[in-house]
Amino acid sequence: MAFATWLSRLKIGGNASGAAQRSRRIPALIYWSPLALAFGNYFYTVKLISGRSMQPTLNPDSSLWRDFGLFDKFSIRSRHGYQRGDIVAIVSPENPRRMIVKRILAVEGDTVRTLPPHPDPEVRVPVGHVWVEGDDSFHTDDSNRLGPIPAALIDSKLVCILWPFDRVGRVTVPTTETLNSVHDWTRRSVQDAIERDKWRKSRVIKSSHSVPRGPHVY
């Protein structure tokens, strides 16, 4: 009987019957929180990006404002939809409590020409792994130090920048067509971005065929 009265007190919504009873109900904010939490867990989340490893794409100047980005979890969780060139949030392989933002250079099967901290000049990315690097190769802890990273650690991919206001929008690599349409004072940075993208792509030999996964013994 006590359980039944407790259940009736839990009744949400319906017709309001006095302030005394209203105070016993679960507040609407708490009642609907699972929906909001699951949306953040499965579809889209907003994350604050700190650090300079993705300069000049993210956090380009040393102002106090840091970038807020909208991250897409759905395409990663549902179909592992990451590609070369995507900016992704990854759980750091060294510290499960940290998350890092990097750009995917190569996926499984590709061959990458590495940068200094790495012992080998060339690396073939193993099955189920990706090669990630920061855009600023001097201030980043990326695959050149950590080696190829398991794709299961990819948490979400960056869709667009939400803040600061002047850079709101999708993060894409500019092409030569955009170069003709921009103003003179941004022309140089756009040109730089194109050069960096070319240099990144020149270091990767893409594999066209899928990689054999070996016998399924787990």
Partner 1 sequence: MHPFAFATQALRRSAQVRLGRAREFWSKPCLYKAKVVGKSAFKLANMACALHIFAEYVGTVSLMSGLSMMPTLADSGEIVVEDRWSIRWNPTGIARGDLITLYSPLDPSRIICKRVIGLPGDVVCVDPTGQKAPSTEHVVIPKGHLWISGDNAAMSRDSRDYGPVSMSLVRAKLRARIYPDITIFRNPITYLD
Instruction: Point out the residues that are catalytic.
Output: 53, 102
Give yes or no for a contact between 128 and 151, defined as CB atoms under 8 angstroms apart. Answer: yes
> Restricting to residues 7-26, which ones interact with partner 1 according to CB under 8 A?
13
Would you say 117 or 150 has its CB closer to partner 1?
150
Q: How far is the CB of 41 from partner 1 (least distance, A)?
A: 7
Give yes or no for a contact between 121 and 113, defined as CB atoms under 8 angstroms apart. Answer: yes
3-state secondary structure of 207: coil
Q: How far is the CB of 40 from partner 1 (least distance, A)?
A: 10
168 binds partner 1 (CB under 8 A): no
Pseudo-torsion of CA 91, 146, 75, 215, nearest 10°? -110
| Rounded Cα distance, 205 and 151, in Å | 19
In DSSP notation, 8-67 reads HHT--SSS---HHHHHHSPPHHHHTHHHHHHHHHHTEEEEEE-SSTTTTTSS-S--S--E
What character string, x for contact with partner 1 (CB under 8 A) and - otherwise, covers 127-166? xxx--------------------xxxxx------------
38 binds partner 1 (CB under 8 A): yes
Q: How far is the CB of 29 from partner 1 (least distance, A)?
A: 12
End-to-end CA distance of the chain: 51
Q: How far is the CB of 207 from partner 1 (least distance, A)?
A: 16
3 binds partner 1 (CB under 8 A): no
Q: Supply 75's token pair.
A: 């395409």
Question: What is the contact surface with partner 1 in residues (CB under 8 A)?
Answer: 13, 31-32, 34-35, 37-38, 41, 80, 91-97, 126-129, 150-154, 213-214, 217-218
